[in-house]
Each structure stands twice: as C-alpha cells, then as structure tokens.
C-alpha cells in the first residue's frame, strides 16, 4: 500500500481501476454490511458507562476509530517515524513515501484529478480559514460579498465574517424554510449582486439536511463564482466526487471520518490553488529563502508550512481505506435504513418533535429533536445516566436555533457501527426521561 | 444552620438513594421548591448565561444577610440552583464569600461544575460570590 506518490501525475490517466480496497464507487453492486463484525473493529464501543453498555450517538461531533487506524499510527511511530520531505536517510524517505501515499489515497477517495490538489490541514475549520484568508486577501474588495447559507456551522460563518470585516465586504445568507431546506428561489438574483464566493455545507450538522450541492454549484458557476463546500458531515455518509460536483474547494475533517483528530483536508482545483497566496509562512512551503526574497513551493506544499502531522496523515489514509473497504454506498444504505428505523421508533414517543426535514431521504447522519417542553440539557443528562451519548445545545449553529426560536436541540447522530437495538435503547431512554421530567 | 451544616444535610439526604432515577427525581423536586425570582427581576441583567441552560438570579440584602431568588429553564439545573440557594441564602456576605461549595461534587453531579460543560450553575456560583463581595465592600464602607 505504501506506493510512492507521484505528485504531478495525471491520476485520471490511470483509469478507474486503481481504487484501494477494490471498491468501485459504481452503483448497483451494493453489499449488506455485517454491523456486528464492524463493531468489533472499534474497541471503544465495548465501554460500559455507569453500568450500561455505551450507546454512542455523538458521531457528528466525532466518530470512534477502528483498529486499522490505531494500528497504522502505532506502526508509523514504531517503525518509520522521522521528518518528511527533508532527509536523505532511509527513514525519512519511508515516512515521506507513506504520507504521500496517504495523499494519493485521499485524492482517490474524493476523485481529485491530481494528488497535489489535496492539502493537509488541521481540519475543516482550518481549511475554511485558509480559503477565507487567502481568497479574501487576493480577490475580495470593498462592496463585494460572500454568500453562505442559513444553516452553517460557526466554522463556515466566522472566517468569512472576519475577512468581510477586514475588506469592508458583506456576508449574505441563503434563507432556510420551516422544513430545514434552503430557499433557492432568489439565488440567481443574489449571485448577480457582487458575490465573489459561495460557501455552504453539503450536510447540515444541526439538522442533517442534505443540500442540493450540484444545483447550487452549477448556479454559482453560471455567474463565474467559485464554491467552497463544507463536507464535514457528508464525507462519512455518502460518496463525494469533486469532479462530478465540479466543486472548487472542499473541506472536511479526519476525526468525523473514523480517522485521528488534528488533521483534515482542503481540496482545491489546481487553477484556484495556484492563484491563492500562501496561508502561513515557514519551512516546507518555500523553494528558496533569502532575506531579500522568498519563492514559494509548488502545490501542495505551498499551503503546508512547517512539519506536518505525519501520524495523522497516515491515520487518515488508513481510515479512508477502511471506509473504502466497507464501501461508502454500502455505508449510506445501512445508515439510511437505520435512520428510517430510528425515526419510526422515535415518532411513537408522545411529544417527539423532529427539527428539520421529516423525509428520511433528504437527511443524513443527524436526528435533531425536542420532546414536549423538556430542556435539551435535561434530556441529555438523563440519557447520559443511561449510558447514551448524545449532544445537546445549539451545535455551533446558533443562527438555525434562532430561526426555529428554540434554545437548542438534542442531537443523536449515526455512524456505520450503530444498530437498531441502539435506537431502541435511545427510545427507551427518552421515555424514561419523559417520566422524570415530563 | 451554617453553610457547612446545610451541605452535609443535603449529602446525607442523597445517601439514601440507591438508584440514579431516585436521585434525579429528588433534584427535580427540589427545583419545585426554589424561591422563585419575582418576574420583574427576570431581566437580561439578571440572566446568567451558561452555554446551555439559563439561570436568572436576584439578590437582596436585609439585616446584614443576603437572600437569593432565582429560576432556570432546565429542570435539573433548577434543582441544583435551588439547593445552592438553600445552602447560601440568609448568610452574611463574609460567610458567603468564604464558603466552599462541595455538596454538588459529593452527590455525584460534578459535571455541573466543570467549565467545559459550562451550564448556568458554575456561573451562578461565581455571580453569588460577586454579589457577596460587592455587599461586603459596601458594608465595610458604611462602617468607616
Ligand atoms: C458542518 C460542519 N462544519 C465544520 C465543522 C468543524 O469541524 P472541525 O471542528 O473538525 O474543524 C463541523 C464540526 O462540528 C461541522 O459539523
């Protein structure tokens, strides 16, 4: 698996057959996943909480890690740890090969045309900050605007607000309806009015809505406007193909994709990345340095200043291979079924109120809800007492909570290792909370 | 009863609960006995913003002692607020600023005191101490 990355090779030319894990992204050949076998890959799922077996339903915050990831990182430190892209020596070359192989795996995973269009960052947040800062610096002027949606994570609001403030530009917002879907009627009109970039999430972390990414990207492109897609909540639930979407920038985090924390990806089309100035200065991102002048390195290194998180890159590569072996289409199918089952059992609870789209086909990963007048924080605590981990609050998406005039929600979020029995535990746990708090 | 005695009594009360359900039932019941804040004081100024649950707090200074009324939008927080007020209300500012609140930890609700969980309770304890400090300073001044 540790093939050397040939940065600069046109990976399309290699044909479709190179995908690791032998899984094709193709339709049709879906396989039923053995969830009990998958659970054995995740040691932490055997945890007992206050005497109950853990039910982990906070996967949108972060997923658990399979042995394949833990072992790959352990092995990196045990066998090839050394600094990359610098040394002439054996270990350094092995480490460099391994991280560049991880880059190729990632490029493959999202079907990037070139591996060098894949930049390693600290995560979604840093990826978005990078684009906001560098794109803003180069292209944003007084009176321009950036367009985001009304259901963004704070990570896809605040970086834009900051650069807009600096450049005296404005932040515009695509509104959302009661069903938790974007209202796209006036989109063309808005795009005509000085929008320089559109940034929105593929899947909402607070509502689970799957947004019509293709449609929005095509609309933006009709006006010559580039798009950044926040795929933090999509990448673990469905196949994402950057060429098919024709998206200009894509951001996601490793830790929500069964990989380690502290690492993530920014994909950018070559033509865009080449136009952006560097983000941070330091080692690795330079070609030559004199006190008079520095010339910058080529992609992807131009955006990777300093010693990177080698173990993280390798861990993320292993996570992606793990997901590819299961097959994202199979994962999507299994999670979709589970989502349907969960909604069925939860709807039987008196006072259960789903926040967002009621159609299971338009949502992924996340079930955001309230029950009667019970405060989400109280519900979360009583569920916790029963070993059920959920998230409560505004989920870093305060504008949506304001939109619904609620202080927050309880959020149960799914991963491939969750089971119908766990949905039953959740429903029973909620019923217990209702008897206590209702 | 001193601040310490009230806390010890609360801890004793909780010892009898074998089951976490009983414990929470009791906390929620305590919330119903909270001396509620007069609606006129339920203002933005008296709102203590935690990350998740809201707490409103009002302090009154009478005959050398501080008395508190409060409310919360979350039932468990409200129960804890009620207990904190039962412990601290009716004591002098000096006693309150010097008090160590250990009962929340002892009854197994440490979560509520962690700043990461940052609900209203921790902020409320800070606010109570601030009130006490302010009144302490005032009463010192008036003695001068
Ligand atoms: C939609 C969305 N965008 C961005 C982020 C931020 O990701 P990270 O904290 O890993 O940078 C999250 C994570 O909660 C998210 O759900």
Over the stretch A165-210, which tens digit does the pLDDT of each residue have? Answer: 999 999 999 999 988 899 999 999 999 999 999 999 999 999 999 9
Arithmetic mean of pLDDT, A95-115: 97
Q: What is the pLDDT of residue A13?
A: 36
Instruction: Answer yes or no: is A304 within a domain.
Output: yes
For residues A86 and A303, what is the distance between their CA atoms, to the nearest angstrom? 17
pLDDT, tens digit (0-9, with 9 covering 90-100), for B53-66: 888 999 999 999 99
Cβ of A117 less than 6 Å from ligand 1: no
Lowest mean pLDDT among A4-18, A227-241, A294-308, B57-71: A4-18
Domain count, chain A: 2
pLDDT, tens digit (0-9, with 9 covering 90-100), for A300-331: 999 999 999 999 999 999 999 999 999 999 99
Residues 66-105 in B contacting A (C-alpha not used; CB under 8 Å): 73-77
The verdict on a CB contact (< 8 Å) between B21 and A432 is yes
The ipTM of this complex is 0.88
Q: What is the pLDDT of residue A175?
A: 95
Instruction: Tell whether A220 and A367 lie within a shared domain.
Output: no
Using an 8 Å Cβ cutoff, are A321 and A345 in contact? no
Q: What is the pLDDT of residue A299?
A: 94
Instruction: Tell whether A332 and A319 lie within a shared domain.
Output: no
* B10 CA: distance to closest CA in chain A (Å): 20
Instruction: Tell whether A262 and A347 lie within a shared domain.
Output: no
C-alpha separations of A401 from A175, A355, A378, B24 in Å:
13, 10, 17, 28
Report cis status (omega within 30 of 0) of the bond before A300: yes
The verdict on a CB contact (< 8 Å) between A437 and B28 is yes
The larger pLDDT score, comparing residue B13 to residue A11, is at B13
pLDDT band for position B118 (cuts 50, 70, 90): low
Q: Searching chain A, which residue's CA lies closest to the CA of residue B109?
A: A381
Lowest mean pLDDT among A69-73, A391-395, A428-432: A391-395
Active site residue A405: no
Q: What is the pLDDT of residue A213?
A: 98
Residue A317 Cα, ligand 1 centroid: separation in angstroms?
Answer: 19
Instruction: Tell whether A303 and A337 lie within a shared domain.
Output: no
* B80 CA: distance to closest CA in chain A (Å): 12
* Nearest Cα residue to atom 9 of ligand 1: A125
Instruction: Tell whether A316 and A345 lie within a shared domain.
Output: no
Instruction: Answer yes or no: is A66 within a domain.
Output: no
Cβ of A253 less than 6 Å from ligand 1: yes
CATH number at residue A395: 3.90.1150.10
Cβ of A201 less than 6 Å from ligand 1: yes
Arithmetic mean of pLDDT, B76-96: 94
Please state the atom number of ligand 1 nearest to the C-alpha of residue A201: 1
* Nearest Cα residue to atom 15 of ligand 1: A232
Instruction: Answer yes or no: is A144 within a domain.
Output: yes
Range of the domain at A232: 90-324
Q: Which of A308, A324, A340 is the last residue of a domain?
A: A324
* B20 CA: distance to closest CA in chain A (Å): 8
pLDDT band for position A23 (cuts 50, 70, 90): very low
Instruction: Tell whether A209 and A283 lie within a shared domain.
Output: yes
Q: Which of A298, A324, A350 is the last residue of a domain?
A: A324
Instruction: Tell whether A97 and A223 lie within a shared domain.
Output: yes
Instruction: Answer yes or no: is A81 within a domain.
Output: no
Chain A residues in contact with B76 (beta carbon < 8 A): 377-378, 381-382
Q: Which of A324, A347, A368 is the last residue of a domain?
A: A324
Residues 11-40 in B contacting A (C-alpha not used; CB under 8 Å): 20-21, 24-25, 28
Instruction: Answer yes or no: is A234 within a domain.
Output: yes
Cβ of A236 less than 6 Å from ligand 1: no
Cβ of A368 less than 6 Å from ligand 1: no
Arithmetic mean of pLDDT, B30-36: 94
3-state secondary structure chain A: CCCCCCCCCCCCCCCHHHCHHHCCCCCCCCCCCCHHHHHCCCHHHHCEECCEECEECECCCCCCCCHHHHHHHHHHHHHHCCCCCCCCCHHHHHHHHHHHHHHHHHHHHHCCCCHHHEEEECCHHHHHHHHHHHHHHHHCCCCCEEEEECCCCHHHCHHHHHHHHHHCCEEEEECECCCCCECCCCHHHHHHCCEEEEEEECECCCCCEECCHHHHHHHHHHCCCCEEEECCCCCCCCCCCHHHHCCCEEEEEHHHCCCCCCCEEEEECHHHHHHCCCCCCCCCCEEEECCCCEEECCCCHHHCCCCCCHHHHHHHHHHHHHHHHHCHHHHHHHHHHHHHHHHHHHHCCCCEEECCCCCHHHECCEEEEEECCCCHHHHHHHHHHCCEECEEECCCCHHHHHHHCCCCEEEEECCCCCCHHHHHHHHHHHHHHHHHHC
Instruction: Tell whether A137 and A223 lie within a shared domain.
Output: yes
Chain A residues in contact with B25 (beta carbon < 8 A): 436
Instruction: Tell whether A301 and A375 lie within a shared domain.
Output: no
Positions of B marked catalytic: 51
Instruction: Answer yes or no: is A316 within a domain.
Output: yes
Residue A148 Cα, ligand 1 centroid: separation in angstroms?
Answer: 15
The verdict on a CB contact (< 8 Å) between A377 and B52 is yes
pTM, 2 dp: 0.90
Domain count, chain B: 1
Chain B residues in contact with A385 (beta carbon < 8 A): 20, 24
**Under DSSP, is residue B72 helix (H, G, I), strand (E, B) or coil?**
strand
Catalytic residue among A134, A164, A396, A405: A396
The verdict on a CB contact (< 8 Å) between B75 and A381 is no
CATH number at residue A278: 3.40.640.10
CA A304 to the chain's CA centroid: 19
Chain A residues in contact with B18 (beta carbon < 8 A): none
User: How many Cβ atoms sit within 10 Å of the Cβ of residue B49?
Assistant: 12
Chain A residues in contact with B20 (beta carbon < 8 A): 50, 385
Q: Could you tell me which residues come within 8 angstroms of residue B62 by beta carbon, excluding any fewer than 6 positions away?
A: none
Q: What is the pLDDT of residue B50?
A: 65
Range of the domain at B132: 3-143
Alpha helices (H) in chain B, listed in sequence order: 3-15, 20-32, 75-88, 93-98, 103-106, 120-143
Out of B24, B25, B53, the one facing A377 most closely (by C-beta) is B53
Cβ of A153 less than 6 Å from ligand 1: yes
Cβ of A124 less than 6 Å from ligand 1: yes
Using an 8 Å Cβ cutoff, are A103 and A300 in contact? yes
Q: What's chain A's length in residues?
A: 438
Q: Searching chain B, which residue's CA lies closest to the CA of residue A435?
A: B25
CATH number at residue B65: 3.90.1010.10
């Amino acid at each position: 698996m540790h093939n050397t990355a040939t940065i600069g090779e046109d990976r399309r030319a290699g044909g479709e057959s190179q995908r690791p894990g032998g899984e094709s992204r193709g339709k049709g050949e879906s396989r039923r996943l053995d969830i009990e076998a998958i659970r054995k890959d995740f040691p932490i799922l055997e945890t007992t909480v206050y005497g109950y077996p853990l039910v982990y339903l906070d996967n949108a915050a972060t997923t658990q890690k399979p042995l394949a990831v833990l072992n790959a990182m352990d092995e990196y430190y045990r066998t090839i740890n050394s600094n990359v892209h610098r040394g002439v020596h054996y270990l350094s070359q092995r480490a460099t090969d391994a991280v560049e192989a991880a880059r190729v795996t990632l490029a493959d995973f999202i079907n990037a045309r070139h591996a060098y269009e894949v930049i390693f960052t600290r995560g979604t947040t840093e990826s978005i900050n990078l684009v906001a800062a560098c794109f803003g610096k180069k292209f944003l002027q007084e009176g321009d605007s950036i367009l985001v949606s009304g259901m963004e994570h704070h990570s896809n609001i605040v970086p834009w607000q900051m650069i807009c403030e600096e450049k005296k530009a404005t932040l515009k917002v695509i509104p959302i309806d009661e069903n938790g879907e974007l209202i796209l009627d006036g989109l063309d009109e808005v795009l005509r009015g000085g929008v320089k970039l559109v940034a929105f999430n593929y899947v909402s972390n607070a509502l689970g809505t799957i947004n019509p990414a293709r449609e929005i990207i095509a609309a933006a492109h009709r006006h010559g406007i580039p798009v950044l897609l926040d795929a933090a909540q999509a990448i673990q639930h469905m196949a994402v193909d950057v060429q098919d979407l024709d998206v200009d920038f894509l951001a996601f985090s490793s830790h929500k994709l069964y990989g380690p924390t502290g690492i993530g990806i920014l994909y950018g089309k070559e033509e865009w990345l080449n136009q952006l100035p560097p983000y941070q200065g330091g080692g690795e991102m330079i070609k030559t340095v004199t006190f008079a002048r520095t010339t910058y390195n080529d992609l992807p290194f131009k955006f990777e200043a300093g010693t990177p998180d080698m173990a993280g890159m390798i861990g993320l590569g292993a996570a992606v291979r793990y997901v590819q072996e299961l097959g994202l289409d199979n994962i999507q199918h299994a999670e979709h079924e589970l989502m349907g089952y969960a909604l069925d059992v939860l709807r039987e609870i008196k006072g259960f109120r789903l926040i967002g789209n009621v159609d299971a086909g338009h949502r992924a990963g996340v079930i955001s809800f309230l029950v009667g007048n019970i405060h989400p924080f109280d519900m979360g605590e009583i569920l916790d007492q029963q070993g059920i981990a959920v998230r409560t609050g505004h989920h870093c998406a305060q504008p949506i909570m304001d939109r619904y005039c609620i202080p927050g929600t309880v959020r149960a979020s799914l991963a491939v290792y969750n089971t119908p029995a766990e949905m039953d535990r959740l429903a029973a746990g909620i019923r217990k909370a209702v008897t206590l708090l209702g | 009863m001193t601040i310490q005695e009230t806390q010890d009594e609360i801890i004793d009360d909780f010892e009898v609960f074998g089951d976490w359900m009983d414990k929470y039932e009791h906390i929620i019941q305590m919330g119903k006995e909270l001396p509620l804040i007069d609606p006129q004081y339920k203002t933005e100024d008296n709102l203590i913003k935690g990350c998740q649950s809201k707490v409103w707090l009002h302090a009154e200074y009478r005959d050398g002692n501080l008395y508190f009324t409060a409310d919360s939008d979350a039932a468990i927080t409200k129960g804890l607020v009620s207990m904190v007020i039962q412990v601290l209300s009716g004591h002098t500012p000096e006693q309150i600023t010097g008090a160590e609140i250990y009962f929340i930890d002892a009854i197994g609700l440490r979560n509520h005191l962690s700043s990461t969980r940052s609900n209203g309770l921790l902020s409320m304890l800070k606010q109570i101490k601030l009130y006490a400090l302010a009144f302490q300073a005032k009463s010192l001044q008036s003695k001068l």
